[in-house]
Structure 1
């Protein structure tokens, strides 16, 4: 599942692959106010109860992106996994979210 990215940074992508009741979303590029909604949409297809978000190819991560992760953690309590890039990990550490149980 690929999310329509018209008008967004052409280097951004959020591609979800559903397996059973879980989605794995691979994200690349900049996650910001313009692209964070596409990340959320890719991570929340119908009938999904868990999500893995791979942010290892993310180069920029702002407060809108942080808010999206918090919304996903609320939507998938106990079943969210997030794999951050070094840059994303630093942003999450600075924001006080570096010890979240969903952060791998």
Structure 2
């Protein structure tokens, strides 16, 4: 199996070319892997959003307000706040991963 990548400056789009004697099997394998990863990300996003909602309810504050106040040293440093910040960062990373996977398309 050989591969190569082409890059477009600006949008930084990569095109990966694969060759195989079993093209349909290879395509199905990749599609299944992407589908599985998309589902995993959805589950992780849901769990992370639930944790964020827990903190928002507990402290009666939206996450954006919490992050702003925390960064401005308006809040005491606590383990809960560390976890809340970590969940907010995790959600951002998970949403970025999900967006990147959803943009993948097969080109003939």
Give TM-score scaled by structure 1 length.
0.26
Q: TM-score scaled to structure 2, two decimals?
A: 0.25
**Which structure: greater helix fraction?**
2
- Larger-gyration structure (1/2): 2
Higher strand fraction: Structure 1 or Structure 2?
1
